[in-house]
């Protein structure tokens, strides 16, 4: 508990830190310790499926059970982990306005359904740590002034100068509410008026949210995604993002997990430029084990639109990490759109404007954030990743989309795939019209019987994406050189071919992807390769000195002795 004590004193000061330890110690002690069982946090077999609890639906069946049935039939040998986006009772934002952190939304199923999936796959839960629902019992207790809830929210005088605060949205930062005694209060609401920011200066909030973390571990969570963690701590007169106290809070959660369940990992979700993002690794041992690789999705999109991977190649060289306890959570698509803040300092504004035009031309939308000077700037591109990469609503080139995924899967880190990418889903514009929310375009609910019928049709776009994607996953899981911490070298052999060398003691792999619409011939001359190499997808012998890649073809080559 020494590290917990030290961090509490750092965050709250010695006097309040002592009180905090007195609050947390019995909470930590009441949860059974889960001894460390793994040699390390990561493996080449780690592949995460990202999904809502009700992405797949079937009449008369709980959606979580439907997902389990589908995953058991199709994904058993392809993925290791299922990441459930918030599956709690909620009031808005498709789950992220949590009303009860300890319950499963009865529309989705029950804890028994979640635990059943945990028998076949590892589980990743969303830990919505920054805010709670305005429709929750906790907020009702706050408005009523109930003991233990008086300081759950952050009450701010609306005349306060908050111009320095970093804003991820163009909505007002403060929202007005009326307490039960008739008093009006203006509360901090970073993301919406329905999402009340927690006041972590309150030990009542701290104790309750530590209890939430340990409850999730008790119910099978092996990875915890800390949603919007960058905004957790607020100090008026600062940017209120990435504050020292926020980093200390992540370290505190890590220290507690190291005591109770040392195999459980923290993944920080911080949609910000790369250098800010990787700061959540701490010293390599004391903060997050994984961070979302937020620069990858927009940069991959940019590379395919321009059929040139030079910027991607230059950026990827910087993915080296010093600690074997850290790695990237590599994703291309998520339940949200494609965040563009990570492109700051990498692409000039005119290049981003060109991407925006591609999105708008293909039925997508753009979400904006508020800047300190009162102006708005793009924050997120709302479009399915399939439609972004294809860059044409008339295209059904499954191979082009799969080429983008092959790059994601060859990079150092743990790959994660959003269910709608695996299923080849296109823009759900009808859903956007129904909800009026741009993000709905990427969140369609699918009837599983209809889905399976499409997958069984070899000519369907879904089938032409799904089965090669499964094969990509399965091949990757079998290669030691794709261990998240295995060595890598970015090769510059042609601006139209992204090339990476992955290696470990037992294996070397050259992963090459043609990101262009033109046939391209390349050579691995200068590399320590034999003239003939083996394609891991086809088992064919390949001439590594003169290799012709068809448009959007990807290949993983290994030396025959490895």
| Per-residue model confidence as pLDDT tens digits over 471-486 | 999 999 999 999 999 9
pLDDT at 370: 85
pLDDT at 562: 53
Beta bridge partners of 267: 225, 290
pLDDT at 170: 85
Which one is catalytic: 54, 227, 336, 387?
227
Q: Does pLDDT of 393 surpass 60?
A: yes
Query: Which of the four pLDDT bands, split at 50, 70 and 90, describes residue 529?
Result: low
**487-559: CATH number:** 2.60.40.1180
Task: Map tokens 């294809």 to a residue.
Answer: 390
pTM of the model: 0.96
Q: Does pLDDT of 41 surpass 80?
A: yes
Neighbours of 474 (CB within 10 A): 13
Across the range 397-406, mean pLDDT stands at 98
Pairing of strands 290-292, 327-331: parallel
pLDDT at 471: 98
Query: Which of the four pLDDT bands, split at 50, 70 and 90, describes residue 295?
Result: very high
d(CA 519, CA 168): 41
Contacts of 295 (CB under 8 A, 6+ apart): 273, 274, 277, 315, 342, 343, 346
Give pLDDT tens digits for 123-141: 999 999 999 999 999 999 9
d(CA 193, CA 233): 18
**Closest-CA residue to 312 (of 289, 291, 342):** 342
Per-domain residue ranges of the chain: 48-128+207-481, 487-559
d(CA 217, CA 422): 27
Query: Across the chain, what does the average pLDDT equal?
Result: 96
Query: Which of the four pLDDT bands, split at 50, 70 and 90, describes residue 296?
Result: very high
Contacts of 135 (CB under 8 A, 6+ apart): 91, 97, 99, 194
Give pLDDT tens digits for 147-167: 999 999 999 999 999 999 999
296-306 vs 349-361: helix axis angle to the nearest 10?
80
Q: Does pLDDT of 528 surpass 80?
A: no
d(CA 541, CA 57): 44
**H/E element, 223:** strand 221-226
Into which CATH architecture does domain 48-128+207-481 fall? Answer: Alpha-Beta Barrel (3.20)
Give pLDDT tens digits for 173-225: 999 999 999 999 999 999 999 999 999 999 999 999 999 999 999 999 999 99
Across the range 48-68, mean pLDDT stands at 98
pLDDT at 460: 98
pLDDT at 561: 60
Share of the chain above pLDDT 70, in %: 99
Give pLDDT tens digits for 352-380: 999 999 999 999 999 998 888 888 889 99
Higher pLDDT, 506 or 135: 135
Catalytic annotation present for 227:
yes
């Amino acid at each position: 508990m020494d590290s917990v004590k030290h961090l509490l004193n750092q965050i709250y000061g010695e006097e309040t830190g002592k009180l905090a330890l007195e609050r947390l110690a019995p909470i930590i002690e009441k949860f059974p310790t889960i001894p460390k069982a793994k040699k390390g946090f990561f493996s080449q077999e780690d592949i995460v499926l990202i999904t809502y609890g009700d992405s797949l639906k079937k009449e008369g069946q709980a959606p979580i059970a439907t997902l389990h049935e589908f995953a058991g039939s199709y994904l058993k040998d392809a993925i290791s982990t299922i990441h459930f986006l918030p599956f709690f009772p909620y009031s808005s934002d498709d789950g992220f306005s949590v009303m009860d952190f300890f319950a499963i939304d009865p529309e989705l199923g029950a804890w028994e359904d979640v635990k059943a999936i945990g028998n076949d796959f590892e589980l990743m839960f969303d830990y919505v740590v920054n805010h709670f629902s305005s429709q929750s019992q906790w907020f009702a207790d706050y408005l009523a002034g109930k003991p233990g809830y008086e300081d759950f929210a952050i009450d701010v005088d609306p005349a306060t100068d908050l111009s320095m605060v970093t804003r991820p949205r163009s909505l007002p930062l403060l929202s007005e509410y009326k307490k039960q005694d008739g008093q009006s209060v203006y509360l901090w609401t970073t993301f919406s008026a329905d999402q009340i920011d927690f006041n972590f200066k309150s030990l009542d909030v701290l104790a309750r949210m530590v209890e939430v973390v340990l409850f999730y571990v008790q119910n099978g969570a092996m990875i915890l995604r800390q949603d919007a963690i960058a905004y957790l701590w607020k100090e008026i007169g600062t940017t209120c993002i990435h504050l020292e106290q926020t980093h200390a809070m992540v370290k505190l959660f890590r220290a507690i997990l190291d005591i109770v369940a040392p195999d459980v990992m923290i993944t920080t979700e911080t949609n910000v430029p790369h250098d800010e993002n990787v700061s959540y690794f701490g010293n390599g041992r004391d903060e997050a084990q994984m961070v979302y690789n937020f620069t990858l999705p927009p940069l991959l999109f940019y590379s395919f639109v321009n059929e040139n991977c030079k910027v991607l190649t230059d950026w990827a060289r910087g993915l080296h990490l010093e600690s074997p306890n850290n790695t990237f959570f590599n994703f291309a698509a998520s339940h949200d759109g494609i965040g563009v803040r990570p492109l700051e300092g990498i692409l000039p504004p005119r290049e981003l404007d060109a991407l925006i035009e591609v999105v708008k031309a293909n039925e997508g939308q753009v979400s904006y954030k508020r800047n300190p000077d009162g102006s708005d700037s793009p924050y997120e591109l709302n479009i399915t990743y399939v439609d972004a990469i294809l860059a044409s609503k008339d295209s059904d080139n499954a191979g082009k989309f799969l080429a983008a995924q092959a790059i994601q899967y060859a990079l150092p880190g743990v790959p994660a795939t959003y269910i709608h990418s695996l299923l080849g889903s296109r823009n759900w514009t009808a859903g956007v019209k129904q909800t009026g929310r741009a993000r709905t375009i990427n969140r369609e609910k699918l009837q599983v019987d209809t889905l399976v019928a499409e997958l069984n049709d070899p000519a369907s776009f879904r089938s032409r994406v799904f089965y090669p994607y499964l094969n990509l996953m399965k091949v990757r899981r079998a290669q030691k050189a794709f261990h998240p911490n295995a060595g890598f070298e970015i090769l510059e052999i042609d601006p139209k071919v992204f090339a990476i060398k992955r290696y470990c003691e037992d294996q070397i792999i050259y992963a090459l992807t043609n990101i262009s619409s033109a046939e391209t011939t390349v050579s691995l001359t200068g590399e320590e390769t034999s003239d003939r190499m083996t394609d891991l997808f086809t088992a064919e012998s390949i001439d590594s000195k003169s290799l012709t890649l068809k448009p959007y073809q990807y290949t993983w080559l290994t030396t025959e002795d490895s």
